Amino acid sequence: MSNYYLGVDMGGTLIKMAIVDSKANIIEETFVYTDTTAKPKDVIKNITDVFKKFKNYHKVDSIGFGIAGAINFKDGVVRYSPNLPKWNKVQLKKEIEQITNKQVFIDNDANTAALGAYWLDIKSTVDNMVCVTLGTGVGGGIILNKKLFRGNNGTAGEIGHITIEPNGRKCNCGNIGCAETYIGVRHIVKETVDLLSKPNKSKHILKLADNDIKQITPKILSQAAKKGDLVAKQVWKNVGEKLGILLSDIIDFFNPDAIVLCGGISNAGNLITLPAKQEIKKRAFKTSAKSCKIIVSKYTSKLGVVGSAMLAKSL
């Protein structure tokens, strides 16, 4: 095989494409907007037409795809994707291989993000790593002995659905008290709105949101907290503590060398990592916690496309 790999990160808004080298450096990259109304065959044609225009396309032997949803890694089938509602049991691997005559790999986007973090943030210097994606939902990917761990049927790493409150909030998955119901975007915003509906000492949140609670976002909460807003600081403290409980479970179970946090919520930085680390000190085995680095990714927007490209090297 050559030293170049092509990655395709199929998001709900953008489809990112990049050619990377054997050390995960991006050589070329581009994107197209995701057309969620298009038929799979039309999306596939559009993607292949675009990436075939890369100058180094002829040097690429393998193509990797990262897609949210239920993905059959072994057969290369997209069973279902929330970002692509018309995609149902699409034989993506087979179709792309027929068009390109190149080897194709397909995986869940949380797994490709983990691979991206392994190569970009960790520089492939450790054996065991867990990536926690913090966004609208909470997901994860696991690297064990320098390889992606997918589990029995490809669903390993559903970190957001680990129970952290046995009598807690109802999750969309049907469980009670999932981590996602405390540290996912929707729930963070809901908690903020609930606090603002009561007597409070917030001075900045609504001002930054133009006095419209529907405009409240994690970014606004971070801005408000940095201005000293007490409600915003309390919300992030709560999020950090719940995150710390989750990370303590991960540390005790996997004993990883590192945990990488990525996604929009991770941009809160110390607002969540400091309370999380305090919680880890209280809960996790000391030797395991001390040897595990907690890292906020510097490459969130690149993880998916780079990880997708590097699927060929993760086998």
What is the average per-residue pLDDT within 164-175? Answer: 94
Within this chain, do residues 89 and 155 fall inside the same structural domain, yes or no?
no
Q: Rounded mean pLDDT of the chain?
A: 95
Distances (CA, A) of 143 to 4, 11, 159, 190: 22, 22, 13, 33
Structure tokens at 273: 């990592």
pLDDT value for 2:
63
CB 24 within 8 A of CB 310: yes
Cβ neighbors of 267 (< 8 A, separation 6 or more) are 218, 219, 222, 300
Q: At what angle do helices 230-254 and 185-196 cross, to 10 degrees?
A: 150
Within this chain, do residues 130 and 266 fall inside the same structural domain, yes or no?
yes
pLDDT value for 313:
87
Within this chain, do residues 78 and 38 fall inside the same structural domain, yes or no?
yes
Q: What is the pLDDT of residues 265-308, one digit of tens each?
A: 999 999 999 999 999 999 999 999 999 999 999 999 999 999 99
Within this chain, do residues 101 and 134 fall inside the same structural domain, yes or no?
no
Q: Using CB atoms within 10 A of its CB, is residue 140 exposed (0-12), middle (13-18) or buried (19+)? A: buried
> Does the structure show a pLDDT above 80 at 1?
no
Please state, in angstroms and rounded to a whole number, the distance separating the CA atoms of residues 20 and 309.
7
- What's the CA angle centered on 262, arms 246 and 4, to 5 degrees? 130
Please state, in angstroms and rounded to a whole number, the distance separating the CA atoms of residues 243 and 239.
6
- What is the DSSP code string of the chain? --SEEEEEEE-SSEEEEEEE-TT--EEEEEEEE--TTS-HHHHHHHHHHHHTTSTTGGGEEEEEEEESSEEETTTTEEEE-TT-TT-EEE-HHHHHHHHH-SEEEEEEHHHHHHHHHHHHTSTT--S-EEEEEESSSEEEEEEETTEE---SSS-TT-GGGSBS-TT-PBPTTS-BSBTHHHHSHHHHHHHHHHHHTSS---SSHHHHTTT-GGG--HHHHHHHHHTT-HHHHHHHHHHHHHHHHHHHHHHHHH--SEEEEESGGGGGTHHHHHHHHHHHHHHS-HHHHHH-EEEE-S-HHHHHHHHHHGGGG--
What is the average per-residue pLDDT within 111-138? Answer: 95
Whether pTM exceeds 0.85: yes
Within this chain, do residues 131 and 236 fall inside the same structural domain, yes or no?
yes
Please state, in angstroms and rounded to a whole number, the distance separating the CA atoms of residues 218 and 211.
16
Half-sphere exposure of 292 (CA within 13 A, CB side): 28
CB 223 within 8 A of CB 257: no
CB 232 within 8 A of CB 188: no
Within this chain, do residues 169 and 203 fall inside the same structural domain, yes or no?
yes
Within this chain, do residues 98 and 172 fall inside the same structural domain, yes or no?
no
Domain total of the chain: 2
Q: Say which CATH number the domain at 231 has.
A: 3.30.420.40
Please state, in angstroms and rounded to a whole number, the distance separating the CA atoms of residues 238 and 221.
13
Range of the domain at 86: 4-117+302-313
Within this chain, do residues 73 and 41 fall inside the same structural domain, yes or no?
yes
Within this chain, do residues 83 and 12 fall inside the same structural domain, yes or no?
yes
Please state, in angstroms and rounded to a whole number, the distance separating the CA atoms of residues 244 and 71.
29
> Does the structure show a pLDDT above 70 at 259?
yes
pLDDT value for 43:
96
Within this chain, do residues 258 and 211 fall inside the same structural domain, yes or no?
yes
Q: What is the pLDDT of residues 26-84, one digit of tens each?
A: 999 999 999 999 999 999 999 999 999 999 999 998 999 999 989 999 999 999 998 89
Within this chain, do residues 60 and 166 fall inside the same structural domain, yes or no?
no
Within this chain, do residues 234 and 166 fall inside the same structural domain, yes or no?
yes
What is the average per-residue pLDDT within 127-131? Answer: 97
pLDDT value for 155:
87
Q: What is the pLDDT of residues 86-117, one digit of tens each?
A: 999 999 999 999 999 999 999 999 999 999 99
